[in-house]
Amino acid sequence: MRHGFRACARAVPLGLVLLGTTGCLPGRSRVPDRYFRLTAPEPGGEVARGRLEGVLLVDAFSASGPVATRSMLYVDAATPSEVHRRTNRFWAEPPARMLRDIVASYLAQVRAADIVVTPEQRLTPDHIVSGHLRVFEEGLGEGAPRAIVEVDLGLVHGSARSRVTLKRYREESPLRPAGARTDPVVAAFERAVGEVCRRFVADLTEADRRAKGGAPMRKSVRGR
């Protein structure tokens, strides 16, 4: 029996022995995962030039590929066609969901419509904002590191689904020194997202005014 045991021990690959022991070695503690969320930008007293009548629904934004995950992504200028994931750094929610909530909050703060809701409120909309997030990544290499946000945002009138505007917004915000309680990458993304919101508000009411050629009809609030 002893010969049999020794034969089995000799047959165990060295790699498996090392795999079983490295977890106990000092200095091998695992780096904890970190999760980040974005804070909605403050309009700073900004008010939309016009107000959409009725209920404005900010619908769920879509995304695909790595940008649809919670991983924090980056692209190096040396290999611009490769998208990389940060290790142990994640968004608290998928970026498309965070961006939708931020756009909804911003539109409500600037009073872009009588009522601004998301699908959870279950109100029948008179207007719908849609979005598709294309890029949400940190750019490295040439120039200063920067947060890059690219998203398609559109507005349709709810009843006839007639499109009022559809535009692609791209913003790049360089990383800056941040306070001890603020991550500089997250702060850069917040600045880029804030600029997207400001540009969208400026386009939103202007496009609606041109499409209607005058004051819109008053809408009533209805439950779904």
Instruction: Produce one character per residue of 121-147: b if its CB has 16 or more CB atoms within 10 Å, e if not.
Output: eebbbbbbbbbbbbbbbbbbeeeeebb
Check which CATH number belongs to the domain holding 156 and give it.
3.40.50.10610
Cα–Cα distance measured from residue 115 to residue 94, given in angstroms and rounded to the nearest whole number: 25
Domain assignment present for 184: yes
- Residue 207: helix, strand or coil by DSSP? helix
Please state which of the ranges 17-21, 98-102, 181-185 shows the lowest mean pLDDT.
Answer: 17-21
Q: What is the tally of structural domains in the chain?
A: 1
Please state which of the ranges 56-70, 124-138, 205-219 shows the lowest mean pLDDT.
Answer: 205-219
Cα–Cα distance measured from residue 59 to residue 119, given in angstroms and rounded to the nearest whole number: 6
Task: Copy the structure tokens of residue 207.
Answer: 């496009």
Give the closest residue to 113 by CA, choosing from 127, 101, 94. Answer: 127
Domain assignment present for 48: yes
Query: Dmax over Cα atoms in the chain, in whole Å?
Result: 96
pLDDT reading at 66 higher than 90 = yes
Domain assignment present for 9: no
Give the closest residue to 91 by CA, choosing from 140, 141, 147, 44. Answer: 147
Helices (H), the chain: 2-11, 14-22, 95-109, 184-212
pTM: 0.78
Cα–Cα distance measured from residue 41 to residue 103, given in angstroms and rounded to the nearest whole number: 9
Residue 150: give the domain boundaries: 28-212
Domain assignment present for 220: no
pLDDT reading at 219 higher than 70 = no
169 Cβ neighbours under 8 A, 6+ residues apart: 149, 150, 151, 152, 153, 196, 199, 200
Region of 211 (left: φ > 0; alpha: ψ -120 to 50; beta: rest) is alpha
Domain assignment present for 7: no
Domain assignment present for 16: no
Q: What percent of the chain clears pLDDT 90, i.e. is strictly above it?
A: 57
Domain assignment present for 18: no
Dihedral, CA of residue 117, residue 38, residue 63 and residue 166, to nearest 10: 60
Domain assignment present for 221: no
pLDDT tens figures, 147-200: 999 999 999 887 666 777 899 999 999 998 876 678 999 999 999 999 999 999
If you ran DSSP here, which 8-state letter would residue 105 be given?
H
Task: Copy the structure tokens of residue 64.
Answer: 């695909």
N- to C-terminal Cα distance for the chain? Answer: 76
Give the closest residue to 36 by CA, choosing from 150, 201, 184. Answer: 184
